[in-house]
Amino acid sequence: MNTTRGFTGRPRAARPGLPPGQYDAGDDWPVLSAEVTPEIAPADWTFRVGGLVAEPRTWDLAGARLLPASGYAGDIHCVTGWSKFGVRFGGVSLDAFLDAAGPLPSATHAVAHAHTGYTANLPLADLTGGRAWIVWEYDGQPLAPEHGGPARLVVPHLYFWKSVKWIAGLELLDHDEPGFWEQNGYHARGNPWEEQRYSGD
């Protein structure tokens, strides 16, 4: 007789790497967009770094591709609860863009804005040190329009609402300025490991 049959009462251990309150979405990659997916031809995409920088700079996709290639392979976490393991994004580290523009010492925060108008605010420290990317590939293929193609921001150590799709630029500021979701009750920083979902968390 198998005495372990039916022994289902013990809660399954959470998957390692899963932040508190999250579930593993498996092969699904949900699309979460506040806007209608814009039609942006790769040749028309631009990315600008401005605000408190020594020299505001704008890149098109061809120019961005000349920067050292970099990418992120790992996990992403949406504040609605899903996490996705083992994604692979290809593009360029945000450090390369920021180094070219030269953040002024007074710059402490940034607002990332999309070509559609969506915004998200981030501490500058979360965008530097090899922890944020501008990406145009997923699994070695062009990033799909509904997932932010031609190119999006990826800041995987924060909740994924910070990873602005159809990224248009970064405005460097000397203060924090709430973006789209942050104005609607979401947390200013959004660290999934501390469950910083809502302002006050």
Question: For 161, phi and psi rounded to 5 degrees?
Answer: -65, -20
Instruction: Give the dihedral of Cα atoms 20, 188, 69, 169; nearest 10 deg.
Output: 150
**118 in contact with Mo ion (CB under 5 A):** no
Mark the segment that binds ligand MTE (CB under 6 A) among 15-23, 54-62, 159-167, 193-201: 159-167
Among 18, 78, 100, 188, which residue interacts with ligand MTE (rule: CB under 6 A)? 78
**180 in contact with Mo ion (CB under 5 A):** no
Among 40, 94, 111, 164, which residue interacts with ligand MTE (rule: CB under 6 A)? 164
The answer to whether the beta carbons of residues 131 and 81 sit under 8 Å apart is no
Residue 77's binding partner among Mo ion, ligand MTE, none (Cβ under 5 to 8 angstroms by kind) is none
**69 in contact with Mo ion (CB under 5 A):** no
Among 32, 66, 69, 144, which residue interacts with Mo ion (rule: CB under 5 A)? 32
- The kind and range of the H/E element at 48 are strand 46-51
**174 in contact with ligand MTE (CB under 6 A):** no
Contacts of ligand MTE in 110-149 (CB under 6 A): 114, 116, 118, 147-148
- Ranges of H-type helices in 79-162: 94-101
Count the alpha carbons within 13 Å of 54 in the hemisphere toward its beta carbon: 9
Closest CA to 150 of 86, 70, 64: 64
Residue 109 or 152 with smaller CB distance to ligand MTE:
152
- Bridge partner residues of 23 (DSSP): 82
**82 in contact with Mo ion (CB under 5 A):** no
Dig out the tokens for 5 from the structure: 């049959």
- Per CB under 6 A, residues contacting ligand MTE are 29-35, 78, 114, 116, 118, 147-148, 160-161, 163-166
